C-alpha cells in the first residue's frame, strides 16, 4: 500500500500558509524527508488569540478542519534558520498581537502547496506525534484534482 507522510500542525498554521501570511514553520528537530507531504490540522490551544490577531480567520474553518487533512505541499530539505529568517517568522506569527511563538532552529519550508477543496477527516495516531503516514487512497481524489502524481 502506497503511503504519504503527514505533517501535523495546530490550527491555524496551514490557514496562514495558504493565505501567504507565513513563510515557513519551525521545529526543534530535523526531518530527513523531502517531497510531497500532507498537511494535517490537529487540536490547538492558540485559536482565539490567533483569529483575533489576524482578524480575518474563520472560526468555522477551525471547527471543520480539526483532525483533518487540509492540503499537500512539497517540503524542501529541512535546514537551520538564519537569524534574519527567525526575525521574519517572529514578525509573521506575532502579527503585533497576543500570539507569541518560539522560532525553533530548523526551518520547514514548502516550495509548492495546495489546499484541498474540502478537509478530509482522518484519525492520526494518538499521543504526541511528529509525523505519520497516510494511505494514498485517502487523498487520491484530491491529488488527481490538483494534478499531482506520485
Residue-level pLDDT at 111: 93
Residues with Cβ within 8 Å of 27's Cβ and at least 6 positions away in sequence, in order, are 78, 104, 106, 108, 130
| CA angle at 28 for the pair 109 and 71, rounded to the nearest 5° | 35
Confidence check: pLDDT of 95 > 60:
no
The burial class, CB within 10 Å (0-12 / 13-18 / 19+), for 1 is: exposed
What value does the mean pLDDT take over residues 19-40?
Answer: 93
Residue-level pLDDT at 128: 76
Percent of the chain, pLDDT > 90? 45
C-alpha cell at 120: 478530509
Tens-place pLDDT, residues 47-85: 666 666 666 666 666 667 778 899 999 999 999 999 899
Question: Rounded to an integer, what distance in angstroms lies between the CA atom of residue 133 and that of residue 2?
Answer: 10
CATH of 3-146, picked from 3.40.50.1370, 2.60.40.10, 2.30.130.30, 1.10.3470.10, is 2.30.130.30
CB atoms within 10 A of CB 31: 16
Amino acid at each position: 500500500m502506497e503511503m504519504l507522510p503527514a505533517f501535523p500542525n495546530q490550527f491555524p498554521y496551514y490557514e496562514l500558509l495558504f493565505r501567504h501570511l507565513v513563510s515557513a514553520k519551525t521545529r526543534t528537530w530535523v526531518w530527513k524527508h523531502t517531497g510531497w507531504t500532507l498537511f494535517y490540522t490537529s487540536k490547538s490551544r492558540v485559536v482565539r488569540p490567533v483569529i483575533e490577531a489576524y482578524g480575518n480567520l474563520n472560526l468555522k474553518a477551525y471547527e471543520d478542519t480539526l483532525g483533518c487533512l487540509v492540503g499537500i505541499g512539497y517540503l524542501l530539505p529541512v535546514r537551520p534558520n538564519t537569524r534574519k529568517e527567525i526575525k521574519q517568522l517572529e514578525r509573521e506569527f506575532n502579527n503585533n498581537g497576543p500570539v507569541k511563538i518560539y522560532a525553533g532552529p530548523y526551518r520547514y519550508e514548502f516550495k509548492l502547496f495546495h489546499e484541498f477543496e474540502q478537509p478530509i477527516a482522518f484519525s492520526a495516531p494518538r499521543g504526541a506525534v511528529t509525523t505519520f503516514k497516510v494511505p494514498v487512497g485517502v487523498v487520491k481524489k484530491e491529488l488527481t484534482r490538483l494534478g499531482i502524481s506520485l
